[in-house]
Amino acid sequence: MAFYGSVTINSNPAPSGSVVKAYYGSIALENIAGEIVVKANGIYGDDTPIGPKLLVTKDDGEIVFTIQSPSISNNQETGGSSEVSYPNFESGSVHFNLAFTYESPVPPSTQTSSNGSSGSRSGGGGGGGGSSRIAPATSLPSGQVLGASTYNFSRNLSVGSSGEDVTELQKILTSEGVYTGPITGYFGSLTKLGVITFQKKYSIDPVGIVGPATRAKLNSSATQTTTTGTMTIDQMKTLLAQLQAQLTTLIAKLNASVQ
């Protein structure tokens, strides 16, 4: 099966060099069905006989697409906030336009109150991406921070949830090797797929929702991460990338507050 057509990110042509990938079902290395590098801005394949196309191997189930581009979250692969998918395998060539949506972290805007003091206000979040905010030093998250790397998950999480507990969820899923998306604090389609893979890994009903059984395992995993104090090289690289992204966001916020 060969796909061709246009590819956009937030209605803008995806830049050349972007990588489009196709998976069967969940976004996991073992489920990859094909990939293509965008050669011309906004076009991932054309309908000419010898033109480039996204070739997808035959398998069963829904085909899910992702994109990896320098214009998205430090070149991290993502499915965006609205999943782009195709029902199943077909023989021949298919014209199928890919439209990825992604909301980057939004710096807090400053506003002046009636007494002349300034405050910050956070923006809303998207599915694959999300919003970021600086919480007051005295505010408490929905769960309880137990230590530098330990977090107690105290509420159920599903698509649409956001907050510090979702951020911690994404960090644990990353360390478990079941999530490769950005750390956004928003529970989107990529996070759901990571949760499903995590649940399958530990023989939990793979519903894609963080319920009591999954929370218990997440809390156990967080505690184990702290007590062992050991990390693989891949986990260290992932953590370093996260810290660099957080530093870039913090610098942008500080610059915005000064202006």
* 216-to-46, 171, 212 alpha-carbon distances in Å: 49, 16, 6
Do residues 86 and 94 lie in contact, with contact meaning Cβ atoms separated by under 8 Å?
Answer: yes
Give the architecture-level CATH label for domain 109-258.
Orthogonal Bundle (1.10)
Q: Give the separation between CA 74 and CA 71, rounded to whole angstroms.
A: 7
- Please check the confidence at residue 94 and state whether its pLDDT lies above 90: yes
Structure tokens at 189: 């389609």
Helix 212-228 / helix 164-175 crossing angle, nearest 10 deg? 70
Do residues 82 and 126 lie in contact, with contact meaning Cβ atoms separated by under 8 Å?
Answer: no
Partner residues linked to 55 by β-bridges: 2
pLDDT in tens, 193-251: 999 999 999 999 999 999 999 999 998 875 554 444 455 676 677 677 777 777 887 78
Question: Nearest-CA neighbor of 23 among 96, 82, 79, 68?
Answer: 79
Domain spans in the chain, listed from the N-terminal domain onward: 2-100, 109-258
Q: Residue 225's pLDDT is what?
A: 46
- Please check the confidence at residue 19 and state whether its pLDDT lies above 70: yes
Q: Residue 119's pLDDT is what?
A: 42
- Is CATH 3.30.1330.40 the right assignment for the domain spanning 2-100? no
Is 117 exposed, middle or buried (CB count within 10 Å of its CB: 0-12, 13-18, 19+)?
Answer: exposed
pLDDT in tens, 97-152: 999 887 654 444 444 444 444 443 333 334 444 333 333 333 334 454 443 346 78
* 140-to-52, 132, 173 alpha-carbon distances in Å: 52, 16, 23
SS3 of the chain: helix, strand, coil, percent, to 5? 30, 25, 50
Query: Dihedrals φ, ψ of 191, to 5°?
Result: -65, -40
Q: Residue 51's pLDDT is what?
A: 82
- Most distant CA pair in the chain: distance in Å? 68
